[in-house]
């Protein structure tokens, strides 16, 4: 009898131990599966799009190198350590620096460095600097695309953006607005601007609209999107882009005057059927 009881206890203990072992194994298997899923997700994320940066990049230089007329900087901002490319400048490791906002590109390959950066920000230079610099990252008619081509690099993000065509890469969604047409002989609604773009190319135009997006100091200028309620969102003729050295605020109703350009191509998919440049706000 005692022997039977002892055997029964032994079997129960064995079964309990086996159950616990299986539970532990299931937990470990589940954890490994979860870790692999997370790893797979991290490695299969699509390339980040090319993005306009709205704030200066400030911090201490951790690494620096010069090539192709550019200075590459790894900057410790305190919260991140981005790479930044600026026109060739005299800087050194340990310097505190503040670079103008720029355009962030994913998977940028520098042929002169034979290196691919997971992400890099192309900036027009050091905040407050008036130096000429090299390439298309400065203002004027130079384009962001020229900056990339001058360095000799390439970008998957740039290729995918370029495939979009038109100005879709920079168009702001339609807003429910209704703004009166500006007063004056050279005044037009946004719809009229797109309708008469060819005949107005190179001419001074005046437009009134609501600021729906404002991106300061990219490629040496401020970028302003305005809408007045006219135009066709399906054809991207509802949103007019203006470049200016003047500052504005989102949601402001402004009247601007500038020179209209037809089929202006800044590269990287940012091609505008119509864009107003060197604009001044009218009081």
Computed over its alpha carbons, how large is the radius of gyration of the chain?
Answer: 28
Res 106: pLDDT? 73
Calpha distance 57→72 (Å, rounded): 13
Nearest CA among 98, 102, 149, 117 for reference residue 48: 117
Exposed, middle or buried by CB within 10 Å (0-12, 13-18, 19+), for 93? exposed
Residue ranges, CATH 2.40.50.140, the chain: 168-281
Nearest CA among 133, 127, 225, 233 for reference residue 176: 233
- Report the length, in residues, of the chain: 283
For 32-64, letters b (16+ CB in 10 Å) and e give eeeeeeeeeeeeeeeeeebebbeebbebebeeb
For residue 117, the tally of other CB atoms under 10 A from its CB is 20
Contact by Cβ (8 Å): 16, 63? no
Res 34: pLDDT? 35
Res 139: pLDDT? 36
Res 162: pLDDT? 34
Profile the chain (283 residues) by mean pLDDT over runs of 10 residues. 47 44 43 36 35 78 87 92 89 94 77 83 78 35 48 43 37 76 94 94 96 84 91 83 93 96 76 90 87
Q: Which segments within the chain are labelled E, that is strand?
A: 51-52, 57-67, 70-76, 83-87, 96-99, 102-110, 115-123, 154-155, 204-218, 221-227, 240-244, 253-265, 271-281
CA distances from 201 to 221, 270, 280 (A): 20, 18, 18
Contact by Cβ (8 Å): 42, 23? no
Q: Which residues contact 17 (CB under 8 A, 6 or more apart)?
A: none
pLDDT tens digits, one per residue of 4-31 = 444 444 444 444 444 444 444 444 433 4
Residue at token pair 């109703």:
253
Res 229: pLDDT? 92
Res 164: pLDDT? 27
Calpha distance 14→20 (Å, rounded): 10
Q: Which residues contact 177 (CB under 8 A, 6 or more apart)?
A: 209, 210, 212, 227, 228, 229
pLDDT tens digits, one per residue of 91-141 = 999 999 999 887 777 777 787 788 888 888 888 788 876 443 333 333 333
> Sign of the CA dihedral 207, 211, 213, 214?
positive
pTM here?
Answer: 0.46
Calpha distance 191→274 (Å, rounded): 11
CATH class of 168-281: mainly beta
Q: Which residues contact 148 (CB under 8 A, 6 or more apart)?
A: 105, 108, 122, 154, 155, 158, 267, 268
Assigned fold of 51-162: OB fold (Dihydrolipoamide Acetyltransferase, E2P) (2.40.50)
114's tokens: 């034979």
């Amino acid at each position: 009898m005692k022997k039977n009881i002892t055997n029964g206890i032994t079997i129960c203990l064995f079964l309990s131990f086996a159950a616990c072992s299986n539970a532990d194994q299931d937990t470990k298997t589940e954890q490994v599966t979860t870790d692999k899923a997370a790893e797979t997700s991290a490695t299969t994320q699509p390339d980040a799009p090319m993005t306009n940066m709205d704030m200066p990049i400030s911090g201490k230089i951790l690494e620096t190198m010069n090539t192709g007329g550019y200075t590459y900087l790894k900057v410790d901002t305190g919260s991140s350590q981005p790479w930044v490319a600026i026109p060739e400048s005299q800087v050194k490791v340990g310097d505190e620096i503040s670079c103008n906002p720029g355009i962030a590109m994913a998977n940028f390959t520098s042929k002169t460095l034979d290196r691919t950066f997971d992400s890099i920000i192309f900036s027009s230079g050091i905040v407050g600097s008036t130096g000429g610099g090299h390439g298309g990252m400065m203002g004027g008619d130079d384009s962001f695309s020229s900056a990339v081509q001058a360095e000799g690099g390439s970008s998957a993000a740039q290729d995918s953006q370029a495939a979009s065509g038109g100005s879709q890469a920079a168009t702001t969604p339609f807003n429910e607005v209704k703004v009166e047409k500006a007063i004056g002989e050279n005044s037009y609604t946004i719809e009229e601007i797109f309708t008469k773009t060819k005949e107005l190319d190179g001419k001074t135009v005046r437009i009134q609209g609501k600021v729906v997006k404002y991106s300061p100091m990219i490629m040496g200028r401020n970028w302003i999107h305005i809408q007045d309620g006219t135009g066709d969102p399906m054809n991207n003729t509802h949103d007019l882009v203006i470049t200016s050295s003047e500052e504005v605020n989102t949601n402001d109703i402004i009247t601007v005057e500038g020179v209209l350009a037809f089929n202006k191509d800044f590269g990287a998919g940012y091609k505008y059927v119509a864009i107003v440049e060197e604009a001044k706000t009218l009081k």
